Amino acid sequence: MFKRRPNFLKKNLWKKNRNQEIDPDEIFLDSKNLPDFDQSQFEGRLEKPLSRNTVIICGTFFFIILSIFIFKIFLLQVKQGKIYAEKSIANSLRQTVIFPERGVIYDRNKVLLASNIYDSKSPDFTHRSYINIPGLAHILGYVRYPAKDRSGFYYQDSYDGVDGVEKTYNNVLSGKTGLKIVETNAFGEVETESVLEPPQDGQSITLSIDSRVQEKFYNLIKKTAKDIGFGGGAGILIDTRTGEIIASVSYPEYDSNIMSDKSNSAAIRSFLNDPQKPFLDRNTDGLYTPGSIVKPFVALAALKEGVIDPKTEILSTGSISIQNPYDPKRKTVFNDWRAQGWVDMRQALAVSSDVYFYEIGGGFEGQKGLGIQNIEKYMRLFGFGGTVSNNSLLGKKGSIPSPEWKERNFPGDSWRIGDTYNTSIGQYGFQVTPMQMARAISSVANNGILLNPTIMQTSETEALSQSIRLPFTKEQFDVIRDGMRQGVIMGTAKGLNIPQISIAAKTGTAELGSSKKYVNSWVEGFLPSEKPTLAFVGLMERGPYTNSIGALYVMRGLIEWMASTTPEYIK
C-alpha cells in the first residue's frame, strides 16, 4: 500500500502544473478570432499607425525648430561673428590705469609732513599719511582718493586735493596716471600685463612752514582759548624780506587723516556740526573787525596827505563831542578808552589814543581830517578790502566802510562824520583777515614793500619781483615804527617788553555787536625793531569784554619760546 502512494502524487502534481501553463495565443488576441471588430478600421488590434495629419504637423514643427537653429548659427557665426570676436578679446584684454606716487610734503627743515603708505584695502594706490602734529590741518589740507564702481571701473582715476597745500598744489603733487593692458583667462585670472604708458610720479614740495613753531603757536592759542573762553584764534609769522609764511595757525582745526580716510563718520560729523567751525581757516577766510591795529596805516595816510605833522600834539580829555544833526540841543559823544592828555603821533600810537585818530581821520574843530575817501584809498593800498593777484592765501576781500558801502548795506541812511570817526579806529563796518594784516604790517617793517605772502620757500629776488612798492618815505615809516616800539616800552603792548629782544607792536581790541559784551583781541608787530626780519599777527576771537588776557599773552609766550628753541628767527 505504501509503495503505490508516490506514483499517485506524482501524477496529480504533473496535471496540476500542466493546467497552469499559458500559450501565446491566449495572450495575443487575433482579430480573426474576434468576428465583431471592423478590421478595416484596425479594430481589435493593439497597434495602430500614425495618421497623415499627425505626421505633417510634427514634421512641420521640427522643421521650424531646425530652421531657427540654423538661422541663429548663421547669425552668430557669419553676420555677428566679428562683433562677438571683438567682445571676446575685450573680455580677455582690459585697459586700466596705473596710479602714480603722490609727491610728499616737507617743512622748511625737511621734516616729512605728508607721506604715502600702502593700504591693503586699496592696493592699486597708496594712501596719504599726515604727521601727528597739531596746527597743520589748514596748511596741508587733505585729499579725496581715486574711486571705482561695483564693476571695478575707476570713475575717478586721480587724487583730488580738497584743502590747503593739497588743493593749491594738486597739479604738482599729483603727477600723471599711466595705462596698462591686463590679459585674463576664462576664469578671470591675470595672465599677463603690458604697460602702455608708465605713470609719472608727483613732485615733492618743501614749504616755508616751520612745524616746530607751528605746533607751539597752535598749542598756545588753543590753551588760551579754552582757559579764557575765546571762540577761536589765529596767528601768522611772516618773513619781512621774502613774504614766506613761517607759521599760520587757525584754531580749532579738523584732522587731515580722518578727512582723507573717511572711515570715522562720527568724527567727521562732529567736525561738520561744531559751532566753532574747524573747517574755517581764520587766517585767510575769517573776516574780523580790526579795531586799533589799523591806526598805523591811518597815521601813514595822514603823513602822506600832510594832514598833521608827527610832532603836533592833540589833547585827549577822554572824548570829543559834536553837534547832533538830528537834534541841535543834543551832542553826540565819541569816547576814548581813557583820557590820554597831550599826545603826538608816536605817543598816540603807543597809548592807542582814539581821540587823536578821530581828529586826524575825520577832522575836529581846527584839526583837518583825512576824510573817508582818503581813508578808503590808503587802506586799499595796503591790501585791505580786496585781493591782489590770484594768491589763495589772501583769501576773502573784507570791507572798508564808505558812503557807497553804507548805501548798499543801509539804504537811505546817509553817511555821517561819526561813521568816519569809527572807521578811523577800525570799527564800524571795517572787516579784515589776519593774513591781510600780516602782509600790511610787514610792509611797515620793510619800508613799504607789500610782499606777496607765500607758503613755499622763495628767494628775496623772486619775492621783490612780485611785490608792490608803497608811496611812503622811509622817514614816514620811521615815525610809525618808533610809535610801535614805544608801545612795547611804555604803552598798550608793554606785555611784549621782553629782555634782550627788541620788539615793536600795536594792540587792538575790537568791540563786537551793539551789546559790546564780546571782543576780538589783536596784536601785530615785528622784530627786531631796528632791522625787522619777522612780522607777526595774533588774534583771539570773540572773548569776554572784561578779560585782560588775549593775543598779546599768546604772542609773548611764543616769542619767549622761540628765543630759546628757534633763536634763528629772533636774532
Q: For 189-242, what is each residue's pLDDT tens digit? A: 667 777 888 999 999 999 999 999 999 999 999 999 999 999 999 999 999 999
Q: Is it the case that residue 106 has pLDDT exceeding 50?
A: yes
Q: Residue 143 to residues 105, 137, 148, 513: CA-CA distances in angstroms?
A: 13, 12, 16, 38
- b/e sequence 129-168, b meaning 16+ C-beta within 10 Å: bbbebbbbbbbbbbbebbeeeeeeebeebbbebebbbbbb
Contact 244, 534 (CB under 8 A): no
In this predicted structure, what is the pLDDT of residue 7? 52
Q: State the cell numbers at 48.
A: 495602430
In this predicted structure, what is the pLDDT of residue 1? 42
Q: How many residues does the chain have?
A: 571
In this predicted structure, what is the pLDDT of residue 2? 44
In this predicted structure, what is the pLDDT of residue 502? 97
In this predicted structure, what is the pLDDT of residue 139? 97
pLDDT band at 36 (very low <50, low <70, confident <90, very high): low
Contact 360, 249 (CB under 8 A): no
Q: Is it the case that residue 32 has pLDDT exceeding 80?
A: no
Mean pLDDT of 166-183: 89
In this predicted structure, what is the pLDDT of residue 303? 98
pLDDT, the chain, mean: 87
Query: Under 8 Å CB-to-CB from 489, ≥6 apart: which residues?
Result: 350, 497
In this predicted structure, what is the pLDDT of residue 186? 60
Phi then psi dihedrals of residue 236, to 5 deg: -140, 140
Q: Is it the case that residue 71 has pLDDT exceeding 50?
A: yes
Mean pLDDT of 91-108: 85
pLDDT in tens, 407-452: 999 999 999 999 999 999 999 999 999 999 999 999 999 999 999 9
In this predicted structure, what is the pLDDT of residue 386? 77
Q: Is it the case that residue 114 has pLDDT exceeding 80?
A: yes
pLDDT in tens, 343-358: 999 999 999 999 999 9
pLDDT band at 4 (very low <50, low <70, confident <90, very high): very low
Q: Is residue 1 helix, strand or coil?
A: coil
pLDDT band at 382 (very low <50, low <70, confident <90, very high): very high
Mean pLDDT of 145-163: 84
- b/e sequence 183-210, b meaning 16+ C-beta within 10 Å: eeeeeeeeeeeeeeeebebbebbbbbbb
Q: Is it the case that residue 390 has pLDDT exceeding 70?
A: no
Mean pLDDT of 150-166: 85
The pLDDT > 70 percentage for the chain reads: 85
Mean pLDDT of 391-396: 72
Mean pLDDT of 160-181: 92
Q: Is it the case that residue 335 has pLDDT exceeding 50?
A: yes
In this predicted structure, what is the pLDDT of residue 300? 98
The pLDDT > 90 percentage for the chain reads: 65
- State the Cα–Cα distance between residues 370 and 305, nearest whole angstrom: 7
Most confident of the following: 8-12, 263-267, 383-387 = 263-267
Pairing of strands 341-343, 314-316: antiparallel
- State the Cα–Cα distance between residues 373 and 254, nearest whole angstrom: 41
Q: Which domains does the chain have, with CATH numbers?
A: 23-79 (no CATH), 94-206 (3.90.1310.10), 211-253+277-569 (3.40.710.10)
In this predicted structure, what is the pLDDT of residue 319? 94
pLDDT in tens, 505-548: 999 998 887 677 889 999 999 999 999 999 999 999 999 888 88
In this predicted structure, what is the pLDDT of residue 127? 92
Contact 136, 211 (CB under 8 A): yes
- State the Cα–Cα distance between residues 140 and 260, nearest whole angstrom: 11
In this predicted structure, what is the pLDDT of residue 91? 55
Mean pLDDT of 48-63: 76
In this predicted structure, what is the pLDDT of residue 3? 47
